[in-house]
Amino acid sequence: MSQPRPARFLIVLAALGGCCLVGCGGMGGAESGGSGGAARTGPLPKLGDPMPPLDDDRVIVAPPAGWQVMPRSQRYLAAFRGDKREPLPSIIITVEDFDRVQNVTAENQIEYGKAVFAAMQEKARKLQQEGKGDGKVKLAEGIEPVKIGKFLGVQYARRVRTSEGVLDYYVVETVRDGRRYILELRDLESAAAQWKPHLYAVALGMQFPKSAAAEPTPEPKPDQPATTDEPKPEPKPEPKPEPKPSEEPKPEPKPEPTPEPKPEPKPEPKKPDKPKLGVDDF
């Protein structure tokens, strides 16, 4: 299992120049993004070792380096805290079915943000019927589209009064294959903002090994054309140039005929010597 790699990433409010979609409110200031939503840049913290696959092996998450992994619980999918002796800061990850959007993409981020706000309104009305709350959705920072590397989703913030004091909840969330993953950073209102890069790092490090959703197409470089899914036309074969007429080949010199060997002259037979006549022959 590969460990998520630490990296520097541009964190961008991805639609309409980073505008707030719904539920705009609360904390104000350039860092909060609630009133303007400027793009954020900077190094993200390193991650620790990833946990075993969760949610029926649909997702793998890892804590920020040095953070403690909290014991498993039915109240959350995974939870991390910055100090094992203190409950805060903490990052809580929950999951639920979501049938309004199957997968968050760059094309439907705005619609997803509106669907998230509609779900909040339904929950607030239900609580009101149970005698809890006034039926209104109260956000410290409105819902904004956000892009963290390949992570596409929305972000927002809430301010909650608890027995531990007033807490700020910074939230990023996405949907993959009909499952809504909500990552919530919690800390005291005076301290929570400093841990937002840790929340973004956890979101960036999420892996979905079973997901059928296609990864977002990387943005092309200035001199590089954008890639599409359309098949590229096959290049036509270039016509081969006709060979130029070459010079007439020079005739190869014919080999000189080998002279036939002359027959050696046969020696003439010697004539017999005439007998010499002696005195007795007369």
Cα–Cα distance measured from residue 181 to residue 167, given in angstroms and rounded to the nearest whole number: 21
Return the domain boundaries, the chain.
Answer: 11-204
Three-state secondary structure call for residue 94: strand
Where residue 41 falls among pLDDT bands split at 50, 70, 90?
A: low
pLDDT digits (tens, 9 = 90+) for 138-160: 999 999 999 999 999 999 999 99
164-220 pLDDT, tens digit each:
889 999 999 999 999 999 999 999 998 999 999 999 999 999 999 988 775 544 444
15-21: average pLDDT: 49
| Residue 155 near residue 144, CB atoms below 8 Å | yes
Q: Sign of the CA dihedral 23, 17, 37, 119?
A: positive
Rg (CA), the chain: 44
Candidate CATH numbers 3.40.50.300, 3.40.50.10800, 3.40.1000.10, 3.30.300.130; the one for domain 11-204: 3.40.1000.10
Q: Rounded to two decimals, what is the model's pTM?
A: 0.67
Starting at the edge strand found earlier in the chain, the sheet holding 165-176 runs: 11-12, 141-148, 151-162, 165-176, 179-188, 90-97, 78-81, 68-69
Phi, psi of 174 (to 5 degrees): -150, 175
